[in-house]
Amino acid sequence: MADVVLGIETSCDETSAAVLVAGSAGGNGGAPELASLVILSQDVHKVFGGVVPELASRAHLAALPAVVDRALAEAGLGLGAVDAVAVTAGPGLVGALIVGVVYAKALAYGGDRALIGVHHMEGHVFAPALEDPSLTPPFVALLVSGGHTLLLDVPEWGRYRLLGQTRDDAAGEAFDKVATLLGLGYPGGPAIERLAREGDPTRFRFPRPMKDEGLEFSFSGLKTSVLHAVRASNDLDRDRAHLARGFQDAVLDVLVTKLERAVRGAGYRTAVLGGGVACSRALAQLATERLSGTARVVVASPRLNADNAAMIARAGWFRLARGERSDWTLDARADLPLPGLEPTPHSPLTSHHSPPS
């Protein structure tokens, strides 16, 4: 088992590296400890109101060597101390992913190190365990980001059952698009949350799409409703905060209603929030309130919910401990299937659509 794992994340617009080391109980004993985490955000995309794939790839290529060096320096380790390299192999922007995968393969091959490709969303499942080593399955995980909205039954680490996912837009994408409509820039989630604190929750009541239907999600219609409301406003400066509040309340109500339904249906006592949208304090607060007395809500700190290499290293650590390795044919895949995904038994609450990539 590796005692030092270097994690690399380049799936979108964050260039990140992290170092995990064996805990005090030894390499096969205690939970790994986070020795360092470096995240470099790409500000260039703000000009365009969203991520430009080609620019993201070029920025990763320029920044990754320095980011890795910084992570090793902050951990107080040289490259020679690294036993294994864990890298995001997908899903994500394929050009951005290739930069990380090729760099990781070179580091692994050049130093005769183990290599493990990691699914980005599995990283989000493991992220809370970095701060809460007592976190253990079974639990229901709600993973919400710019590209994904997933409800997973996690009976044990590495095993997943898909309960529901979005049929169209991810919740994070909806936040970004609505932020653009409101003139708030990119990324949208933090800006909307800040502005929503000033809004009147009764001023705009937007629809809750599919709130009462199973465990799947749909946010395209909600975006359209906000668009119509923005166009109908004769004073957007006056209405902006109220629109932000109405939109945020609608999204969070749907997300938490589905999470609560899944937790109660599974009979679990733990719910995990993950992904960039899980940085929202409003989401964590609403989930905690709704699940009070039913299940505890576990959510990582914002730096571990945003795209980061620490969660990739942690998921990679788990896979490496099971004896798994990637060979030199490892490649980036924008549609990488979630490992350990099992068929979900038929239930009126569960979905039967294509599994998450």
Starting at the earlier edge strand, list the strands of the sheet with 296-299: 296-299, 270-274, 139-144, 149-156, 159-165, 341-342
pLDDT, tens digit, 9 for 90 and up, residues 110-123: 999 999 999 999 99
Query: Considering only the top CATH level, what class is 139-299?
Result: alpha beta
Domain 4-130+305-342 homologous superfamily, CATH: ATPase, nucleotide binding domain (3.30.420.40)
Taking the CB of residue 50, how many other CB atoms lie within 10 A of it? 15
**Quick check: 321 pLDDT over 50?**
yes
Token representation of residue 19: 């170092």
Residue 263 identity (one-letter amino acid)? V
> What residue ranges do the domains of the chain occupy?
4-130+305-342, 139-299
Distances (CA, A) of 49 to 61, 178, 245, 310: 22, 11, 21, 27
Token representation of residue 4: 């030092």
Give burial (CB, 10 Å; 0-12/13-18/19+) of 120: buried
**Quick check: 187 pLDDT over 90?**
no
pTM: 0.92
Q: What is the rounded average pLDDT of the residues 196-225?
A: 95
Give residue 348's pLDDT.
46
Q: What is the rounded average pLDDT of the residues 279-292?
A: 96
| Domain 4-130+305-342 matches domain 139-299 at the CATH topology level | yes
